[in-house]
């Protein structure tokens, strides 16, 4: 079986070690809270490497929100033809930030696990059914 590509594993929110097990227990926009598995259901990796590990995901989420705010602000600028009122920009950025909060929460943790965790590396021997 071919190895699962890293980008596909990240988009599907899969374990960074085996790229098979789910990181989250439920859907992104469900009515239940977004709960993470403590351990990978496939390979047994403990996701929280050390106590308070996911506090660092706030910094990743902040970077995502800044990029979103700049993008939405620029798009608003071009769509509204240089509107002078700051309230249009504030409303657009806050609405976009609110609507993408579940995505931001989920993918800030996925990015932290996949790209910013030197203690966790991909193991092809776990990437099988």
**CA neighbours closer than 13 Å in the CB half-sphere of residue 98:** 6
- Cα gap 34→27, rounded to integer Å: 7
**What is the tens place of the pLDDT at every residue in 90-117?**
999 999 999 999 899 999 999 999 998 8
pLDDT for res 124: 80
Residue 30, CA distances (Å) to 25, 35, 77, 120 in order:
11, 11, 33, 29
For the chain, residues with pLDDT lower than 50 are none
pLDDT for res 116: 85
CA quadruple 65, 60, 21, 34: dihedral sign:
negative
- Cα gap 115→99, rounded to integer Å: 25
Spatial contact of 13 and 23, defined as CB atoms under 8 Å apart: yes
Which residues contact residue 88 at a Cβ distance below 8 angstroms, ignoring those fewer than 6 apart?
76, 80
pLDDT for res 92: 94
Return the closest-CA partner of residue 46 out of 76, 12, 17: 17
């Amino acid at each position: 079986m071919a190895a699962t590509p890293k980008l596909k594993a990240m988009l599907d929110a899969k374990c960074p070690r085996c790229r098979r097990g789910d990181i989250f227990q439920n859907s992104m926009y469900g009515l239940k809270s977004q709960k993470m598995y403590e351990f990978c259901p496939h390979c047994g990796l403990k996701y929280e490497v050390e106590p308070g590990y996911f506090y660092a995901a706030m910094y990743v989420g902040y970077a995502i929100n800044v990029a979103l705010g700049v993008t939405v602000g620029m798009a608003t600028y071009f769509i509204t033809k240089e509107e002078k009122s700051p309230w249009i920009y504030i409303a657009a950025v806050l609405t976009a930030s609110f609507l993408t909060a579940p995505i931001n929460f989920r993918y800030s943790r996925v990015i932290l696990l996949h790209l910013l965790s030197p203690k966790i590396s991909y193991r092809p021997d776990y990437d099988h059914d």
